[in-house]
Amino acid sequence: MDKQIVFKANKLSRTVVKNNIIRIYNTSEDNTDWYADALTYCQYLATKHKIPLDNVIGVVSALSPRKNWTLNKKIAEDLIIDGTCGHMQVFVKKAQDILSVDNEEQILSILNGKKITSFYLNIRYPDKNTSVTVDRHAIAVAIGRTATDIELSLTDKQYKFFADCYRYTAEVLNIAPHLLQSITWEVWRKTKTMS
């Protein structure tokens, strides 16, 4: 694991990121496993629409970029019902393709992106997965402020660095990495909404 990287022309150390994550984590009043709750929602949709759970989680994951959770749920169900929804065509096409396959390997191949693949794995396996979904909120928590549009575009090395920092910090706190990410994500999202 890298102890520091150059992030958008500035050096960023694992220690700084760890301290930023812990600072946000320590303000949390609720350590509910968001991914377990998301799995419950996906199970509900799978039962309601008689679609395999893996496919529902794949659709939700494919449609997650740039959408808050409330809107993500709505457009996922819209796509399941109507075959389309209000999102960028590239994500709609992924979701449509996911509805036509019958195994997880194919779903992961269609998702084919670090963030949305991690999101899928975190929802599908909240009790055992160690993937970290590094989205805009995870980046903001890690750098200690809202990320700029340029900062949201990560190289593979930067994505790995942030994911590793969450894993490292989770080990320090003795919790699952994806749980740490989801707890801090919730705190950051609520704090940003209130400010």
* Structure confidence at residue 195 (pLDDT): 44
8 Å CB contact between 5 and 12: yes
* Structure confidence at residue 16 (pLDDT): 94
* Structure confidence at residue 29 (pLDDT): 87
In the numeric block, which tokens belong to residue 156? 């593979």
Summarize pLDDT for 31-51 with one digit per residue, the tens: 878 899 999 999 999 999 999
* Structure confidence at residue 191 (pLDDT): 77
Name the pLDDT band for 85 (thresholds 50, 70, 90): very high
DSSP H helices in 30-113:
34-49, 53-62, 69-82, 89-99, 104-111
Strand-pair partners of 12: 5
Three-class DSSP category at 5: strand
* Structure confidence at residue 194 (pLDDT): 46
* Structure confidence at residue 1 (pLDDT): 72
8 Å CB contact between 185 and 34: yes
- Better-scored residue on pLDDT, 33 or 61: 61
Closest CA to 117 of 127, 128, 104: 104
Tell me the mean pLDDT in the region 173-191: 91
Tell me the mean pLDDT in the region 173-184: 94
Tell me the mean pLDDT in the region 84-102: 95
Give me the chain's average pLDDT, please. 92
Alpha-carbon gap, residue 10 to 134, rounded angstroms: 19
* Structure confidence at residue 193 (pLDDT): 53
Contacts of residue 21, Cβ cutoff 8 Å, sequence gap at least 6? 141, 142, 165, 166, 169, 180, 184
Residue 63 has pLDDT above 70, yes or no: yes
Alpha-carbon gap, residue 110 to 118, rounded angstroms: 13
* Structure confidence at residue 169 (pLDDT): 97
Name the pLDDT band for 145 (thresholds 50, 70, 90): very high
Three-class DSSP category at 40: helix
* Structure confidence at residue 38 (pLDDT): 95
